[in-house]
Each structure stands twice: as C-alpha cells, then as structure tokens.
Amino acid sequence: MNNFLENDQSLESEFRSIYLFGRNVATYKFAFAKTLLELGTSNKSFLSLEELSPIFAKYMLEHVKSGKRQITSSSSKFINALQLYSQHKITWEQLLLVTERIGFTNVIDAFHNIPNGELKTSFYEKSTIGRTLGITLTDNSYVLSNGEQKANFFDEIEGRWNLVENAWTESNPNLEVKYDGELESFFFLRPITPERYIHSHERVNLTPVRKPLNGYQKGKCFYCYRSISITSGHSDTCDVDHFIPLSIQYSSKADLDLNGVWNLVLACQECNRGETKGKFARLPHETLLDRLYMRNEYLIASNHPLKETIIMKTGLNSMIRLGFLKSIFKHASTIKVAEWKPEQVYSDGF
C-alpha cells in the first residue's frame, strides 16, 4: 500500500487507493466512488444528501438484487430497505427517504480512509448550507471525472466489488480464484456434497479479469507503461498476458500453475502482439521479474480474494514469494531464453 503511493501522488492513484486498499465492512464505499465519478461531470459543487440519494441507491441496488452479501454484519436497516424495494414492497420514494436518513451514516466520513490513515487529498468535503446536509465537491473530483481513466475507474470498482461480495457470500477465507483463458474471466469452484457423499463442484463466475487487475497497474501496460483501456472493443483495449508464457508449461514436466493470478498481467496490444517487437510467447528479460513481484504485492495488500489465492500459490511472506517467482523464472529460462523487453517505455511506471 505504501509503495503504491510512494512515488506516485497522482489523483488517479490516490482515488484508486481508496477502493483498492480501503478496509471494508460494507460495499458502500464502492457505490459512493461511482456516485462521485458520476457527479464530477455536473456543474454543481454542493450536493445535498437528498440529491446524492438516488444515485447512491441506484448503484447499491445493482448489487443487492444479485442476492450477494453487501455487509459483514448480520443486519443493516439500509440493506433491508434496498431489499424491500427490489422485492416491490416499498416505493422508490420510501427508499430514497431511508437512503437520505441512514445510507450515508458511515461512508461519507470514512471514504478517504486508507490502511495507514487518511488521504491528504480530498475529493469532497462535508458541508451544511442552512439546515441542509451534504457534500461540496473539490476541484479534484472534477479533474478526475473528466480524465481519460474515468471509464477504467467504473470497471475497476465493479471488479473489486464483485470479488468482495462473493468472498463475503461464500464465507470462505481460502477461496481460490481460477482463470478461464477462453472467457478471460475469474471464477471459483464451490464444493457440493450431494446424496451418497459424491463430491462435486459448482462453478461460480466472478468477473472479467481486466477489471480487478487494471487498478493495480494504474491503468498502464505492464511492460511499457502506456495508458490502456479495459473496455471491450476499443482500439487500445489491453490484452491479458501470461508473464511467463503458457507455452513453457507444455515443455515442462513440472506443474508451474502459469494460469494462476500471480502470472497474469495486462499488456497493450503493441507489447503483447506487435508485428515487429511483440512479446508473443517469448520470455521477458529477468529485470522485469521485480515488476511482477511488486504488482503481486499490491494485490496482496488488498483484501479478498485474489490476495488469498496468490498467497496460497506463492508463499506466506514477501521473501518466500520473491523466491517462488525467481525459482519458476529460473526453470523457465532453461526452456526459453529470457531476452524480451518493450521497445519503448512511456512513463515512470506503476
């Protein structure tokens, strides 16, 4: 977490630190982050709780309707109201009254909190005009909401939200996330024990892989640091790449788990498959291994459940994890020469 912001105090990274690393007992922070992004394109600075309520409730409802847990406690009056509305038992107007009264109780005060304290940069301030409670957006919100990363932010928040709510719903701290290369998505297998004690598993889809990974690369190509998009169909939509090529597995007798989360990175199309200098199935230069280690440590600094999956596969502490990467890389180097590097580097990294 410290390293994520140590050499990069950009608004984008500070905003990402809130929803990627902030500790959660409810998913309100994710909905509020989306609310701020939507409101940052308006021409209003002060927004009352009444004005915030329909947008905040809209984003919460999208996830409450899935039936997955949105809070770690056993009950919540706000969540109950969202559920009642989704079941057509209360009106939209009644839901908005509940949202205005109790929906923001904790999220407005705690939104800027990160593991080591509170961000120095603020995207809004609590305000009161007369007797009307609300927030005043800072210039940072307007800059953020009109930047090139806005679409990525929405997708990244959604990806992390999906992971968190699934982990809470399953109540399984050792949930192992797997990668479906054909669909380019994460999933896990839920154990089922039917009659006669025949063990089987049910597949549960989580999220497209680009959404939860992109934030930890700060919206940049893993190799050249060029800005990338994670929206499907764009000219700069990134590729999901295996840092150590999957073809290494086919030439090795060892089970290297190269489809594991720890080995997946997002790369621009030019780096991954460019006609002249693309990586394709080549093994990257060893100097890039430290970057993979750092990216994985960013993921581990965040909770649920990619963290647990990487730890289970690579080790309980940072030194063991680095040793794991070096060991796999050394083995891969006996099969392919480790020499590929990006032709050009576009920024200071992530």
- Answer whether residue 349 is part of any domain: no
135 and 231 housed in the same domain: no
200 and 311 housed in the same domain: yes
- Answer whether residue 270 is part of any domain: yes
26 and 72 housed in the same domain: yes
Residue-level pLDDT at 235: 82
- Answer whether residue 152 is part of any domain: no
Residue-level pLDDT at 8: 84
- Answer whether residue 348 is part of any domain: no
324 and 190 housed in the same domain: yes
What is the number of domains present in the chain?
A: 2
140 and 189 housed in the same domain: no
Residue-level pLDDT at 1: 60
- Answer whether residue 79 is part of any domain: yes
229 and 320 housed in the same domain: yes
Encode the chain (350 residues) as per-residue pLDDT tens digits: 668 988 788 999 999 999 999 888 999 999 999 999 999 988 899 999 999 999 999 999 999 999 999 999 988 999 999 999 999 999 999 999 999 999 999 899 999 999 888 999 999 999 999 999 999 999 999 999 998 899 999 999 999 999 999 999 998 767 899 999 999 999 999 887 655 455 577 889 999 999 999 999 999 999 999 999 998 888 889 999 999 999 999 888 888 999 999 999 999 999 999 988 899 999 999 999 999 999 999 999 998 789 999 999 999 999 999 999 999 999 999 999 999 999 999 988 88
Last residue of one domain, picked from the residues 145, 161, 190: 145
Residue-level pLDDT at 253: 83
219 and 325 housed in the same domain: yes
- Answer whether residue 42 is part of any domain: yes
- Answer whether residue 13 is part of any domain: yes
308 and 221 housed in the same domain: yes
132 and 19 housed in the same domain: yes
Residue-level pLDDT at 251: 87
Global confidence as pTM? 0.93
Residue-level pLDDT at 303: 82
Domain limits at 266? 173-340
313 and 195 housed in the same domain: yes
187 and 273 housed in the same domain: yes
SS3 track for the chain:
CHHHHHCCCCHHHHHHHHHHHCCCCECHHHHHHHHHHHHCCCCCCEEEHHHHHHHHHHHHHHHHCCCCCCECCCCCHHHHHHHHHHCCCCCHHHHHHHHHHHHCCCHHHHCCEECCEECCCCCEEEEEECCEEEEEECHHHHHHHCCCCHHHHHHHHHHHHHHHHHHHHHCCCCCCCEEECCCCEEEEEEEECCHHHCCEEEEEEEEECHHHHHHHHCCECCCCCCECECCCCCCCECEEEECCCCHHHHCCCCCCCCCCHHHEEEECHHHHHCCCCCCCCCEECHHHHHHHHHHHHHHHCCCCCHHHHHHHHHCCCHHHHHHHHHHHHHHHHCCCCEEECCCCCCCCCC
241 and 129 housed in the same domain: no
Last residue of one domain, picked from the residues 98, 130, 145: 145
- Answer whether residue 226 is part of any domain: yes
